[in-house]
Amino acid sequence: MGTMGLALPWEARISLERVQRGPVEPRETTREVSSVRAPLSRDDLAIAAACQSGDLRAFEELYRLHGARMKSMARNLLGTTSDAEDAVQETFLKIQRSIATFRGQSSFLTWSFRILINTCYDARRSRMRKREVPQDEPDRESAPRPEPRAPLAHPSLKLALERAVEQLTPQQREVFLMYEVEGLRHSEIAGVLEISETASKNTLFQAKKNLRQMLEAPRSSAAEAR
Amino acid sequence: MKITCSERERIFLDGTPDEWAALEAHAGHCLACREELAAWRNLSEAASELHQEWEAPALWPRIERALREQSRAARASWWERLLGRPNLPSLAWQTAAAALVLVLFSAAAIWVILHRNPVVPSTALLTDRAVGIVEERQAAYEEAIDKLDAQARPQLDQAATPLMASYREKLQVLDSAIADLKSQAGMNPANGHLRRQLLAMYQEKQLTLEEVLEAKRQ
């Protein structure tokens, strides 16, 4: 595409800007106010149009903008970095195969995330069938150690949370991971999962309530033991 | 803004920034809400630790290679679809073969139409096949008229009446014209106008000979 240089500016304009972890709860409102939606939508459409024309540079731009978030999401759904990378690759192949069906009714990013999530669940089902890795024992050891971001974070809490997230319903898990971990807005999650924003908020609330119960249970048991 | 404990979960679900600020103020003097608020926030902070980033320098080249291969395979499969693949339903290759034959036949027909001699709307020129047919019929016609001429010739040669003399002169003119036209038709056999003039001369000669024979009978 001859206009790629104009259509896809090289500055990163990530529509799903990772949220600064400040005040936790009113984040949705903060994000809505701070984000600049119109130019981001143009980029989204420009990338989609370039992908439709078969321009591999557009796929590279999509990867550059959202590859890290896609890898992280896949890692949390599949448990290992190698599976996550395979899922991201498969997602890009599926995007290329079905790009002709993208009509712009949702944003290109949410459409891509939907494909990613479906790909991850396909991989989980395939893995369960092959019984290569037990579902409740993901290969956490093979994952590179992320740089610690919160000094108070405790490795055991993180591990407990990972296991608790696995116990959520699929939709609760997806909403929780997309909102709390990957920083998507409810409006974007609604687009990915094809649900309403209200449903996304309710699902997140229920997911967090369930997680709290799961994570508090050992404490209660310990207290009873004492 | 005043907040009560009963509103806490609603704010967790969908609170505005003002409501969150009011809940924090309320939690300053409400132990239950303070603990709930802390637990809720701790969960979000712990969740942020689940986001993982790692270097994967080989991943994009791998994806790019796979995308190129898929793109190439998609282009190749167009031909495979046309020619049929072994794993397609049983009639697919026959359909493709029929389509190919149809395409080739159409192409040949178009080529023939584009490269054949331009069609002349006039009938001035005859095709080789038409010339052959005309000459064959003309020979039979000449033979028939020669027979007629042989029957009439004694009458013409012997009779000394002015009518017969007139018929004889007319037949000489016709024979001369026929000889000229045959000579021109020999040089230009596809000329339809010459053939028609020749036919007219023969017909006129036939009528004249018939009149001669009719005069003899009378």
Poorest-pLDDT segment among A27-41, B38-52, B65-79: A27-41
Q: What is the pTM of this model?
A: 0.56
Rounded to whole angstroms, what are the CA distances from B15 to A28, A59, A111, A190, B93? 10, 38, 28, 18, 64
Give the pLDDT confidence score for residue B75 in this predicted structure: 77
Do the chains contact at B54 and A24, CB–CB below 8 Å?
no
Whether B89 has a pLDDT exceeding 80, the answer reads no
Preferred mutation among A16, A30, A92 to probe B, highest tally of B CBs within 10 A: A92
pLDDT in tens, A21-75: 333 444 544 443 333 233 345 578 888 989 988 899 999 999 999 999 999 999 9
Domain shared by B156 and B209, yes or no: yes
Q: Looking at the complex, report in whole angstroms how far the Cα of residue A223 sits from the nearest Cα belonging to chain B.
A: 17
Residue B137 lies in a domain: yes
Task: Give the best-scoring range by mean pLDDT among A48-62, B154-168, B173-187.
Answer: A48-62
d(CA B164, CA B168): 6
d(CA A172, CA B63): 30
Give the residue carrying structure tokens 């080529």.
B111
Q: What is the mean pLDDT of residues B121-147?
A: 78
Residue B72 lies in a domain: no
Ramachandran assignment for A131, one of left (phi > 0), alpha (psi -120 to 50 degrees), beta (any other): left
Domain range for B103 is 80-116
pLDDT over 90, % of chain B: 22
In terms of pLDDT, which residue wins out, A225 or B48?
Answer: B48
Do the chains contact at B11 and A25, CB–CB below 8 Å?
yes
In terms of pLDDT, which residue wins out, A59 or A16?
Answer: A59
Cross-chain CB nearest to B12 (options A21, A81, A205): A205
Do the chains contact at B20 and A23, CB–CB below 8 Å?
yes
The tokens of A120 are what?
């991850």
Chain B residue with CA closest to A154: the answer is B46
In terms of pLDDT, which residue wins out, A148 or B139?
Answer: B139
Average pLDDT, chain A: 74
Do the chains contact at A81 and B54, CB–CB below 8 Å?
yes
Task: Count CB pairs under 8 A between chains A and B.
Answer: 132
| B133 — pLDDT class (breaks 50, 70, 90) | confident
Q: Looking at the complex, report in whole angstroms how far the Cα of residue B65 sits from the nearest Cα belonging to chain A.
A: 10
Whether B159 has a pLDDT exceeding 70, the answer reads no
Domain count, chain B: 3
The tokens of B36 are what?
């709930």
Give the pLDDT confidence score for residue A150 in this predicted structure: 38
| B98 — pLDDT class (breaks 50, 70, 90) | confident
Give the pLDDT confidence score for residue B123 in this predicted structure: 54
Do the chains contact at A182 and B51, CB–CB below 8 Å?
yes
Chain B residue with CA closest to A83: the answer is B59
Ramachandran assignment for A19, one of left (phi > 0), alpha (psi -120 to 50 degrees), beta (any other): beta
Q: Which amino acid is at A144?
A: P
SS3 string, B140-209, reads HHHHHHHHHHHHHHHHHHHCCCHHHHHHHHHHHHHHHHHHHHHHHHHHCCCEHHHHHHHHHHHHHHHHHH
| A13 — pLDDT class (breaks 50, 70, 90) | very low
Preferred mutation among A14, A19, A20, A24 to probe B, highest tally of B CBs within 10 A: A24
Q: What is the mean pLDDT of residues B50-73?
A: 92
| Residues A66, A15 contacting (CB under 8 angstroms) | no
Whether A202 has a pLDDT exceeding 50, the answer reads yes
Whether A210 has a pLDDT exceeding 90, the answer reads yes
Query: Where exactly are the structural domains of chain A?
Result: 30-144, 151-226
Residues 6+ apart with CB under 8 A from A34: A17
Give the pLDDT confidence score for residue B91 in this predicted structure: 60
Domain shared by B151 and B94, yes or no: no
d(CA A181, CA B51): 5
Domain shared by B163 and B197, yes or no: yes
Do the chains contact at A71 and B56, CB–CB below 8 Å?
yes
Domain shared by B112 and B132, yes or no: no
Whether A127 has a pLDDT exceeding 80, the answer reads yes
Cross-chain CB nearest to A63 (options B11, B45, B60): B60
Q: Look up residue B1 and give its DSSP letter.
A: -
Chain B residue with CA closest to A75: the answer is B52
Chain B residue with CA closest to A178: the answer is B51
The tokens of B215 are what?
């005069």
Residue B73 lies in a domain: no
Q: What is the mean pLDDT of residues A3-22?
A: 32
Ramachandran assignment for A35, one of left (phi > 0), alpha (psi -120 to 50 degrees), beta (any other): beta
In terms of pLDDT, which residue wins out, A131 or A74?
Answer: A74
Task: Give the best-scoring range by mean pLDDT among A57-71, A209-223, B107-121.
Answer: A57-71
Collapse the DSSP code of A55 into the 3-class scheme (helix H, G, I; strand E, B; otherwise coil) and give the result: coil
Domain shared by B134 and B198, yes or no: yes
Which residues on B lie below 8 Å from A149 (Cβ)? Answer: 48-49
Chain B residue with CA closest to A92: the answer is B63
Domain shared by B154 and B208, yes or no: yes
**Domain A151-226 -> CATH class:** mainly alpha
Collapse the DSSP code of B125 into the 3-class scheme (helix H, G, I; strand E, B; otherwise coil) and give the result: strand
Domain shared by B132 and B197, yes or no: yes
Q: Looking at the complex, report in whole angstroms how far the Cα of residue A217 sits from the nearest Cα belonging to chain B.
A: 14
Residue B74 lies in a domain: no
Give the pLDDT confidence score for residue B86 in this predicted structure: 53
| Residues B37, B45 contacting (CB under 8 angstroms) | no
Q: Does residue B48 sit at the A interface (CB-CB below 8 Å)?
A: yes
Which residues on A lie below 8 Å from B59 (Cβ)? Answer: 67, 71, 85, 88-89
Poorest-pLDDT segment among B140-144, B199-203, B211-215: B211-215
Poorest-pLDDT segment among A2-11, A53-62, B167-176: A2-11
Residues 6+ apart with CB under 8 A from B33: B5, B8, B23, B26, B27
Domain shared by B112 and B138, yes or no: no
The tokens of B76 are what?
């190749």
Q: What is the mean pLDDT of residues A87-103?
A: 92
Give the pLDDT confidence score for residue A86 in this predicted structure: 95
Q: What is the mean pLDDT of residues A162-171?
A: 93
| Domain end position, chosen among B64, B94, B116 | B116
Average pLDDT, chain B: 83
The 3-state DSSP composition of chain B as helix, strand, coil percent (nearest 5) reads 80, 0, 20
Residue B38 lies in a domain: yes
Give the pLDDT confidence score for residue B188 in this predicted structure: 80
Residue B141 lies in a domain: yes
d(CA B118, CA B116): 6
Cα angle: A183, vertex A188, A191; to 5 degrees = 145
Q: What is the ipTM of this complex?
A: 0.70
| Residues A199, A152 contacting (CB under 8 angstroms) | no
Residue B53 lies in a domain: no
Whether A222 has a pLDDT exceeding 80, the answer reads no
**Domain A30-144 -> CATH class:** mainly alpha
Cross-chain CB nearest to B40 (options A60, A92, A208): A208
Do the chains contact at B67 and A93, CB–CB below 8 Å?
yes
